[in-house]
Each structure stands twice: as C-alpha cells, then as structure tokens.
Amino acid sequence: TGDDGALHWKTVCVCGKTKTVIGRNLRRGASRSCGCRQGNWIHGGTKNTMYNTWKSMKKRCFSRLHPSYINYGARGITVCDRWLYFPDFYEDMGDCPAGLSLDRIDNDGNYEPDNCKWSTPKEQANNRRPYKKEKA
C-alpha cells in the first residue's frame, strides 16, 4: 500500500524492467508498459480508422457483449499477443487502403500477422464460413 492508500503492484514489463503500478490502473488497463513503448504511439490514435479497426477486432474476440462474439471469441478465435498492443498491430498492418477491411485468410485462424490481410467486401464474402442450417 502506498502513501495514497491504494494497493501497489510490482510488475514486470514486456521489455523486462520492473515497475510499481497502482492496482486500479493495472486493472483498467491504464498501465501497459514501463514507458518503453511511449515513443511508438500514434498521436490521435483513438480517432484513427486503424485504431477503431483494432478495437473492433479485439471486441469481437474478447467481449461477450459484442454482437459478433458468437462468431469469433466463442469459437476460440483470438488475437495474437503482439497485436494486443495497438502500435504493434499498426506496424504490422500499416494503414488500411481505401475500400478494404481487415480479413483473416483462414476463417478458423486467429488474428495474427501471417493470417490477416486487407480485402475488398467481395473477397470477404467469398471467405465466409459455410452457413449451417439448423434442423427442424
């Protein structure tokens, strides 16, 4: 417990450095590194189309409240560890070309660099899982 009365946790960053973090900041995701990744952040990222693409990808896989969770997270589809951090996702995928959207090459595979590409709506439609009709 710190002078502020809050619980503090000793954490190990992805770079290997240790950092003491206030527990509530750790739980809400406000502390994601020791500061080693600050230089990689894109100013205004939350208003960026790429940021919203990344956020939507994560919600489909991790948020049970997302309408598409049943087709992603519930099927075991997840996001690779590297892409849990926006700057790494952006570094790997770059800007989304106009008229395209994020697509997984293998529909049963995870969101990861080797399984994702930018596709047209027509390409995405051709890459859908076969529809299974329920028996009456």
Residue spans of beta strands (DSSP E) within the chain: 8-12, 18-22, 101-104, 116-119
Residue keyed to tokens 């996702």? 89
The pTM assigned to this predicted structure is: 0.63
Positive or negative CA dihedral for 45, 50, 56, 62?
Answer: negative
pLDDT digits (tens, 9 = 90+) for 13-70: 666 677 787 877 767 666 666 666 554 455 455 557 888 999 999 999 999 999 999 9
pLDDT-based confidence at residue 133 (cuts at 50, 70, 90): low
Domain boundaries, the chain: 8-36, 44-126
Alpha carbon separation from 107 to 8, 35, 71, 76 (Å, rounded): 41, 35, 10, 11
